[in-house]
Amino acid sequence: MTNARTASRTRTTSESSIELELDLDGTGQSSIDTSVPFFDHMLTAFAKHSLTDLRVKATGDTHIDVHHTVEDTAIVLGEAIREALGDKAGISRYGDALVPLDEALAQAVVDISGRPFLVHMGEPAGFEMHLIGGHFTGSMVRHTFEAIAFHAGLTMHVRVLGGRDPHHIAEAEYKALARAFRQAKALDPLVHGIPSTKGAL
């Protein structure tokens, strides 16, 4: 490997302030403080299971709602992933993972395609309205996936195959995404150059 696949990004608005660093070739170490505890838990799981070293420091108007801080953090994460991937030479490109968490089961399929797209389905009725941990609305799971996919240039299919507990469902989704992304970003010694017939991703 000749180039470090790292990125450091910041974003400051009237609603939030985000500082983020990542290393795609890390070991899953993380230091996450978004001021939204459940989101910290999800990003820690994402780092651990994608083998991405991740540092996030975020503050925002969480006294109004966690929405702005969570969304802006996901935007910056997506931007950092895109930057760290560089020209994508030598990557596997595709990843697929099926992850259980007790009664919950989620699948994620990732294509580092350069074409932002999210297909997201299967969450049980009412999930989007549930407050996980008393502060993180279930709808934010899809919203963060949209922000990551759009800003990283990923095609992502995420589906919930089963589940009852909202915490378990959300965590299975994030872990499935992490495992699929881990496969997709991996450097494959059999891949020479850009893994696309177009010659660019």
- Find the helix or strand (DSSP H, E) in which 182 lies: helix 166-185
Cβ 40 vs Cβ 33: under 8 Å: yes
Tens of pLDDT along 52-78? 999 999 999 999 999 999 999 999 999
Residue with tokens 């759009």: 150
Four-point Cα dihedral 105, 107, 57, 116, nearest 10: -150
Question: pLDDT above 70 covers what percent of the chain?
Answer: 99
Cβ 9 vs Cβ 79: under 8 Å: yes
2 has pLDDT over 80: no
Domains of the chain, with CATH numbers?
6-185 (3.30.230.40)
Determine the average pLDDT of the residues in 6-22: 97
Closest CA to 49 of 190, 175, 187: 175
Tens of pLDDT along 78-133? 999 999 999 999 999 999 999 999 999 999 999 999 999 999 999 999 999 999 99
Both structure tokens of 126: 């009412």
Both structure tokens of 121: 């389905």
Using DSSP, state whether 85 is helix, strand or coil: helix
Name the pairing type of β-strands 16-23 and 104-111.
unpaired
The band of 1, judged by pLDDT with boundaries at 50, 70 and 90, is very low
Q: pTM surpassing 0.85? A: yes
DSSP E strand boundaries for 53-154: 53-60, 94-101, 104-111, 117-121, 131-132, 136-137
Tens of pLDDT along 148-192? 999 999 999 999 999 999 999 999 999 999 999 999 999 999 999
